[in-house]
């Protein structure tokens, strides 16, 4: 092999290595760009997620007896709901009416288990949750209206 052919082979190897390095660097840069910065918040999600029912109940600092009573109340309500839903003699409207009454009765029983301070805290949390839900519904409706094509 002469000196010239060795130089061509060396040049080809260098070009291949440079090409592979540039592809690797570009893919690494893409991965880094797509990754969120540590501590950064997602600017597209401007609403905060409301606390779950479990979190709300934990915030009430229930006693062991209250937890036992609430568990029994929930199991009883669930059994009553299943009974209503399984009753084929009722129309759909009658089932909905009975379920609504069951929810009201369960809520009233729930409030009797709570202390006055817990009840006030619970009512405030529920009002805030309802307000947030209404705000989210309004925002979703506005976004839907804005996305409609203008004719």
pLDDT for the residue 37: 56
User: Of 23-37, 73-87, 98-112, which gets the smallest average pLDDT?
Assistant: 23-37
Side-chain half-sphere CA neighbours of 14 within 13 A: 6
pLDDT for the residue 32: 52
For 136, other C-beta atoms within 10 Å of its C-beta total 12
User: Of 51-60, 106-115, 131-140, which gets the smallest average pLDDT?
Assistant: 131-140
Better-scored residue on pLDDT, 28 or 103: 103
pLDDT for the residue 36: 58
pLDDT for the residue 127: 86
CA 28 to CA 36: how far, in whole Å? 14
For 110, other C-beta atoms within 10 Å of its C-beta total 16
Mean pLDDT calculated for residue range 96-117: 90
Q: What percent of the chain has pLDDT over 90?
A: 18
Q: Is the pTM of this model over 0.75?
A: no
Mind listing the pLDDT tens digit for each residue in 54-99?
888 888 888 899 889 988 998 999 999 999 999 999 888 998 999 9
Token code pair at residue 70? 């609430």
Q: Which of 16-20, 24-28, 30-34, 108-112 is predicted most confidently?
A: 108-112
């Amino acid at each position: 092999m002469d000196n010239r052919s060795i130089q061509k082979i060396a040049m080809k190897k260098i070009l291949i290595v440079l090409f592979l390095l540039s592809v690797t660097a570009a893919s690494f840069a893409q991965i880094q760009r797509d990754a969120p910065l540590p501590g950064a918040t997602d600017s597209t999600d401007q609403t905060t997620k409301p606390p779950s029912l479990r979190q709300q109940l934990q915030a009430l600092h229930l006693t062991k007896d209250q937890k036992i009573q609430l568990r029994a109340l929930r199991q009883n309500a669930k059994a009553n709901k299943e009974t209503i839903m399984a009753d084929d003699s009722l129309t759909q409207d009658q089932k909905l009416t009975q379920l609504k009454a069951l929810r009201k009765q369960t809520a009233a029983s729930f409030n009797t288990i709570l202390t006055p301070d817990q009840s006030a805290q619970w009512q405030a949390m529920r009002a805030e949750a309802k307000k947030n839900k209404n705000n989210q519904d309004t925002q979703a409706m506005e976004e839907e209206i804005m996305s409609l094509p203008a004719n």
